[in-house]
Chain A
Amino acid sequence: MNVETAGLGAFFIIAIMAVVTLATRWGGVYIMSFVPISYRVKQFVSAMSGSVLIALLAPLAIEGDNGARLALLTTAATMLVFKKPLPAIAAGIVAAAVFRQF
């Protein structure tokens, strides 16, 4: 099944995207409303919260270019030393930018 992108078709495609995305924003909350919040569920959820980020970042760190790797390394190191996110992010971006100039 295909939707033409000319005319109103484009808006239909956006509507599909919007509904699917909204389902993901609401779905997790909705499903959890049927799950009794035990201590085990809390542990699952708190372990998952860091894991989402790690799972997002792992392929970037392994498969990315050296600029990307250096950016992540610099951010992690700066964050460990200064414990402030904005300097850490800035340092990471600068590291990637400088590295990619050469």
Chain B
Amino acid sequence: MDETNKPLHEINHILVWAGFKQLVPISLFVVIFGAAFGLAATQTGLDDSVIVMMSTLVFAGAAQFAVLDLWGPSVPVIPLVVTVFAINARHLLMGATLYPWLSQLAPARRYGIMLVASDANWAMSLQAFSRGQAGMGILFGGGLALWSFWIVGTWLGIYFGSAISNPKSLGLDMVMACFLLAMVVGGDKNLRMLIIWIVAASSSLLAYWYLPKNSHVVVGALAGGLLGALWMDKNHER
């Protein structure tokens, strides 16, 4: 995490395009997710234009699926806000983890880039930064790839959704989980990190079982983060 020597926060068209291309393979799977959402939303009874607009403006798959469960002749506002906030609260943590590099940018760029922050481009850009590579192109360009493929997928699902009636039997529900796991396994591994992960996993599970719905990601992440702050890595470059 030495961001002082090289401008890791650098961002230009070349980096954005490279980041876009780097996220295209995983974005192809996002199309399938999007199609699954488009299909589910049609079946819930949402209008086509409403569905496409939701994917375009919200761009948060898990939260969008959850809102379909609340959908009826009317939608209760407080549960809507709580559900969307709880599921997307991990974005708060993502923004915080990227702050050391985002802070080098002017506020307009900083917040502009965060418009398309999502799990996959966040994980890949953070990995790039921690290896000492420029990551902003991956974050923004990759985010644009995920966002546009998400919208296209949603649209395809509305019109051709019945073609993938059972994505689960093809293992497609596991794409994002496998991707994120590959990011974890590909990152730094040492005894300290392993123990932090065990604490994060146990806290997440306890929250999953005993605390309100959707709180487990935040609880687990904060527990891991706090342990990391208390038990600091001694071999570091300051």
Contact = CB atoms under 8 A, between A and B. Distances in A.
B108 interface: no
B128 interface: no
Contacts of A43: 228-229, 232-233
Given A51-B224, A55-B220, A18 B117 contact: no
A57 B74 contact: no
Interface in A1-56: 1-6, 9-11, 13-18, 20-33, 37, 39-56
Interface string B203-238: 111001000000011111111111111001100101
B156 interface: no
Contacts of A24: 85, 88-92
B148 interface: no
A9 B222 CA distance: 36
A49 B97 contact: yes
Count class of interface residues, chain B: 35 or more
B204 A59 contact: yes
A21 to B, nearest CB: 5
B201 A55 contact: yes
Contacts of B160: none
Contacts of B171: 67, 71, 92-97, 100
B47 A10 contact: yes
Contacts of B202: 58
Given A4-B74, A85-B179, A86-B25, A45 B53 contact: no
A27 to B, nearest CB: 5
Interface centre among A2, A47, A63 (most CB of B within 10 A): A47
21 contacts: A4-B74, A13-B80, A24-B91, A25-B95, A25-B115, A29-B95, A47-B224, A50-B200, A51-B196, A51-B221, A51-B224, A52-B221, A54-B184, A55-B217, A67-B171, A68-B174, A72-B174, A75-B185, A76-B185, A79-B181, A89-B182
Interface of B: 1, 25-26, 46-47, 50, 53-54, 57-60, 63-64, 67, 71-78, 80-81, 84-85, 88-100, 102-103, 110-111, 114-115, 117, 123, 126, 130, 168-175, 177-188, 193, 196-197, 199-205, 208, 216-229, 232-233, 236, 238
Interface of A: 1-6, 9-11, 13-18, 20-33, 37, 39-60, 62-63, 67-68, 71-72, 75-76, 79-80, 83, 85-86, 88-89, 92-97, 100-101
